[in-house]
Amino acid sequence: MKISASVLSCDFSDISKEIDKISNLNVDFLHLDVMDGHFVPNISFGAHISKCIKKISKIPIETHLMVSNPIKFIEQFGFSSTIIFHFESDDNIEDAIELIKSLSIKAGISIKPKTSVEKILHCLENIDLVLIMTVEPGFGGQKFMENQVQKIKFLKNFKEKNNLNFDIEVDGGINDITARTCENSGADITVAGTYIFSSENIEKSINLLRGKNG
């Protein structure tokens, strides 16, 4: 199980120290939640702060665009290893994927809890990652929605049946228990913020997310 640490739960008054805490703990990705206050009812940070985070971290960055018009933002985040945008956004899905790929960046698509997974099946041949939201996007610290697990199982089965090659990532309410639920259902990556950065023992928490005994 790969781990993506969401910096949304960091102490931004000392972001460098926060990232230092996880830099040598084999975290696979830094997860940047970019919110525009329109697509979701919150505003986080944009490209400038994200580039500053990139400067102080050697961990690959995946950018999660929770924005209404991702095509306007994609090139600003060209330093990312992966850019994830939402199916529910206002832009054309194929155009967004093509733009991300033109930058030699992995393309990911995300769906909200109320969106049926069947709606994205037509584009999975061109996608590197599917992000299943197990909370309503926009705020950290929410409770994991168990009814979203069926989407993970469906995608795992669909991927194997059709010989596709995309990762399944899960974001929202992730802790050591829900991470095992996701992994056992077919997830490849879990995103955790509060569980990691609010922990008194971050190394132990990360190991538990991976399925290790602390």
Catalytic residues: 33, 171
According to DSSP, the residues that pair with 109 across neighbouring strands are 85, 130
In order, the DSSP letters of 17-33 are HHHHHHHTTT--EEEEE
Give the pair of three-digit tokens for residue 36.
């525009």
Give the pair of three-digit tokens for residue 74.
């994609």
In order, the DSSP letters of 38-69 are SSSS-B---HHHHHHHHHT--S-EEEEEESS-
Q: If residue 167 lies in a helix (H) or strand (E), which one and from where to where? A: strand 167-171
